[in-house]
Amino acid sequence: MKTRLSCPCGTVIKGQDEDDLVEKTQAHLAAEHPGMSYGRDEILFIAT
């Protein structure tokens, strides 16, 4: 299960599970990188 993602901006996003990680990553993208959006599969592909 992947629960951690390092954004190229330097932010590390951690989730309790994959669903939580995807939700937090999408929220980070919306807040910090408007116009960028990734789906669940893309987020989990780059997560660890």
DSSP 4-36: EEE-TTS-EEE-SSHHHHHHHHHHHHHHHSTT-
Average pLDDT over residues 9-33: 98
Instruction: Round to whole Å and give the CA distance between 43 and 14.
Output: 12
The answer to whether the pTM exceeds 0.95 is no
Model confidence band, residue 22 (pLDDT cutoffs 50, 70, 90): very high
Q: What is the predicted pLDDT for the residue at 2?
A: 97
pLDDT averaged over every residue in the chain: 97
Q: Which SS3 state, helix, strand or coil, does residue 40 take?
A: helix
Q: What is the predicted pLDDT for the residue at 35?
A: 94
Average pLDDT over residues 21-47: 97
- Whats the size of the chain, residue-wise? 48
Dihedral of CA atoms 26, 28, 31, 34 in degrees, nearest 10, equals: -60
Cβ-based neighbour number of residue 10 at 10 Å:
6
